[in-house]
C-alpha cells in the first residue's frame, strides 16, 4: 500500500541525496547550487511555509528508493 506523509527536518539525510541525484541527471540542463537545494528542503519541511510542501511517498512503510 502506498502512503503519503509530509517531510520533516529529520528526513534530510533521506531526501537530499535523492534531490542531488535528480539534479545531476540528464533531466536537468543546468547545475543547481547545493545551497539552493538545502534552502528548498528546509522550506519544504517547514509546516509554517505557506507556499511549499514536501511529501514522501512510501510503499508498505518502507523509505522511498531511487529506481533507475
| pLDDT 10s digits, 10-67 | 999 999 999 999 999 999 999 999 999 999 999 999 999 999 999 988 888 776 664 4
Computed from CA positions of residues 2, 42, 40, 49, in that sequence, does the dihedral angle turn out positive or negative?
A: positive
Is 28 exposed, middle or buried, given 0-12, 13-18 or 19+ CB atoms closer than 10 A? Answer: exposed
Name the phi and psi angles at 49, rounded to 5: -75, 115
Name the phi and psi angles at 10, rounded to 5: -70, -10
Q: Per residue in 46-59, pLDDT tens? A: 999 999 999 988 88
Alpha helices in 1-68 (DSSP H): 12-23, 34-44
pTM: 0.80
Name the phi and psi angles at 62, rounded to 5: -80, 150
Amino acid at each position: 500500500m502506498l502512503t503519503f506523509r509530509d517531510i520533516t527536518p529529520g528526513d534530510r539525510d533521506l531526501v537530499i541525496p535523492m534531490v542531488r541525484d535528480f539534479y545531476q541527471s540528464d533531466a536537468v540542463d543546468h547545475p543547481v547550487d547545493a545551497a539552493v537545494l538545502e534552502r528548498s528542503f528546509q522550506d519544504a519541511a517547514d509546516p509554517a511555509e505557506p507556499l511549499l510542501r514536501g511529501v514522501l511517498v512510501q510503499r508498505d512503510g518502507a523509505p522511498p528508493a531511487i529506481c533507475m
